[in-house]
């Protein structure tokens, strides 16, 4: 077991943390003093602004991955020491995603505009990419193993005003692919977030970016109940026109009347959640199992969809805030709402699957217990003796990196995960 100075001793069981601190000793010196207070975002913002000013895409990628490493180490230590509340941990993860997306969009937009000119609509107004955060990102609830669900939109069709002109869609498609790569690509420094684009209009078969008019038409003519559920937490992160985007989404998600017609669609969603929870490998899963986080989220969001059109106070994005509003209105019996609010923080960042390390190789959970670490080591040794993918009930094996085996152990502390590359849609993989 690695020896760490007393301020960092809580990290000694984490393979991720110990390897990161060995590879980056300066982070250990910084963390020894920084852990006494919440993360200092002013210094991080200034460092990213300097990299953006240089216009160096590779430098930005390195800076974002370094920032991720420091944010994770800081969150781990403060969570294990009991000095960080759930809101602090989730808030830092959400802000990390926000500043990363904003920096990537700004730098790569400027680089593309230098070659092709600024994208403009038919009236000559400049256009910007609006990145919409969905799911936990939209709700400000990202945890250390969350991917980020994004949708890319822009105000209107048109073209760029440079000598090598492009249609706006082509410009923003190229920009979107670069943004995905800046966050999702696995380099020698690791990655920032896994990016999932499947919630965009028409899913994987749809265009990577769409104008506001196309988004509105899709929601009106094609939007299904489960998509109302997905768009409930949608939050614009970059660009302007945020009120206009909200004006497109709100009527789709929240109807002006008590929306009892949504019940059948919600029953279908709940049947899928229950069917997944009945799988043997999810029986004790704190997220996907019976009574897990997904069911808690479903109960809150179902009530929001049905009643949010008539009760604006229910139109909040975070699950904790939604449960508080639901409890205040007596929409759940007794102390059910407060009980579910307490249940959510119990799944702390300690309950996490394997993730690539700062060097891009698979490691144990960032906050592994000695028991889970021993299991992972034993399974990795077994993997060296096999030539195919074992399918026995105790575990699943997936590839991570060039030739690295990584186990996912079937216990409540190891929810299902995917490798950083597989989660990105082939249609939107960075090029």
Distances (CA, A) of 317 to 79, 314, 347: 24, 9, 19
Q: Which domain holds residue 305?
A: 262-346
Q: What is the CATH number of the domain that holds 317?
A: 1.20.120.330
223: left (phi over 0), alpha (psi -120 to 50) or beta: beta
8 A C-beta contact, residue 184 and residue 193 = yes
Q: Are 237 and 133 in contact (CB under 8 A)?
A: yes
421 three-state secondary structure: coil
Average pLDDT over every residue of 159-186: 96
Alpha carbon separation from 132 to 106, 227, 233, 235, 241 (Å, rounded):
15, 14, 10, 5, 12
- Give me the chain's average pLDDT, please: 79
Lowest mean pLDDT among 43-47, 154-158, 281-285, 352-356: 352-356
Q: Is 270 contained in some domain?
A: yes
Q: Within a domain: residue 277?
A: yes
Rounded Cα distance, 19 and 317, in Å = 36
The DSSP H or E segment spanning 220 is helix 212-221
Q: Is residue 332 part of a domain?
A: yes
Spatial neighbors of 294 by CB under 8 A, at least 6 apart, are 273, 277, 287, 288
- Classify each residue of 48-81 as buried b or exposed e, where b means 16 or more C-beta atoms within 10 Å of its C-beta: beebbeeeebeebbebbbbbbbbbbbbbbbbbbe
**What confidence tens digit (pLDDT) does each residue in 250-297 have?**
999 998 776 666 777 777 777 777 776 666 666 667 777 777 788 888
pLDDT digit string (tens) for 185-243? 999 999 999 999 999 999 999 999 999 999 999 999 998 888 998 999 999 999 989 99
Q: What is the distance, to the nearest Å, from the Cα of residue 71 to the centroid of all Cα atoms in its chain?
A: 15
Best CA proximity match to 191, nearest among 98, 75, 67, 26: 67
160 sits in which H/E element: strand 159-160
Residue 113 dihedral angles phi and psi, to the nearest 5° = -65, -30
Question: CB 260: neighbour CB atoms within 10 A?
Answer: 9
Whole-structure pTM value: 0.78
**Residue 339 placed within a domain:** yes
Place of tokens 């702390």: 348
- For the chain, the domain total comes to 1
Inside any domain, residue 168: no
CA–CA distance, 12 with 367 (Å, rounded to integer): 9
Q: Is residue 294 part of a domain?
A: yes
- Phi/psi at 272 (5° precision): -65, -40
367 has pLDDT over 70 = no
Q: Convert the pLDDT of each residue in 47-71 to its tens digit.
A: 999 999 999 999 999 999 999 999 9
Residue 2: inside a domain: no
Taking a C-beta distance cutoff of 8 angstroms, is the pair 296, 319 a contact? yes
Could you tell me if residue 266 is inside a domain?
Answer: yes
Q: Are 104 and 179 in contact (CB under 8 A)?
A: yes
């Amino acid at each position: 077991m690695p020896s760490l100075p007393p301020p960092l001793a809580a990290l000694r069981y984490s393979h991720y943390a110990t390897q990161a601190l060995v590879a980056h000793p300066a982070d250990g010196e910084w963390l020894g003093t920084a852990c006494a207070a919440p993360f200092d975002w002013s210094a991080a913002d200034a460092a990213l602004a300097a990299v953006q000013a240089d216009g160096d895409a590779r430098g930005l990628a390195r800076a974002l991955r370094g920032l991720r490493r420091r944010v994770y180490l800081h969150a781990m230590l403060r969570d294990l020491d009991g000095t960080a509340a759930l809101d602090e941990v989730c808030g830092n993860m959400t802000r990390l995603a926000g500043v990363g997306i904003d920096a990537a969009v700004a730098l790569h937009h400027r680089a593309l505009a230098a070659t092709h000119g600024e994208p403009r609509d038919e009236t000559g107004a400049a256009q910007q990419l609006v990145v919409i955060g969905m799911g936990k990102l939209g709700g400000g609830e990202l945890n250390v193993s969350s991917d980020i669900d994004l949708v890319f939109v822009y105000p209107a069709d048109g073209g760029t005003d440079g000598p090598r002109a492009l249609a706006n869609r082509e410009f923003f498609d190229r920009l979107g692919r670069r943004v995905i790569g800046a966050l999702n690509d696995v380099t020698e420094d690791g990655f920032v977030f896994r990016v999932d684009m499947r919630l965009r209009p028409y899913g994987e078969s749809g265009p990577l970016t769409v104008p506001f008019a196309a988004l509105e038409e899709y929601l009106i003519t094609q939007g299904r109940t489960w998509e109302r559920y997905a768009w409930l937490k949608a939050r614009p992160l970059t660009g302007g026109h945020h009120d206009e985007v909200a004006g497109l989404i709100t009527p789709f998600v929240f109807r002006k009347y008590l929306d009892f017609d949504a019940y059948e669609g919600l029953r279908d969603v709940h049947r899928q959640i229950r069917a997944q929870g009945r799988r043997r490998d999810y029986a004790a899963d704190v997220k996907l199992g019976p009574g897990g986080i997904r069911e808690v989220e479903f109960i809150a969001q179902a009530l929001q969809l049905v009643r949010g059109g008539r009760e604006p106070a229910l139109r909040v994005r975070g699950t904790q805030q939604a449960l508080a509003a639901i409890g205040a209105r007596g929409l759940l019996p007794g102390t059910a709402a407060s009980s579910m609010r307490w249940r959510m923080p119990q799944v702390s960042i300690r309950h996490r699957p394997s993730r690539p390390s700062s060097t891009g190789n698979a490691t144990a959970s960032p906050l592994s217990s000695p028991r889970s670490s021993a299991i992972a080591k034993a399974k990795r040794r077994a993997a060296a003796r096999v030539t195919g993918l074992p399918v026995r009930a105790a575990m699943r094996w997936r590839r991570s990196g060039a030739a690295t085996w990584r186990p996912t152990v079937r216990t409540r502390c190891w929810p299902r995960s995917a490798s950083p590359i597989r989660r990105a849609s082939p249609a939107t993989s960075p090029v």
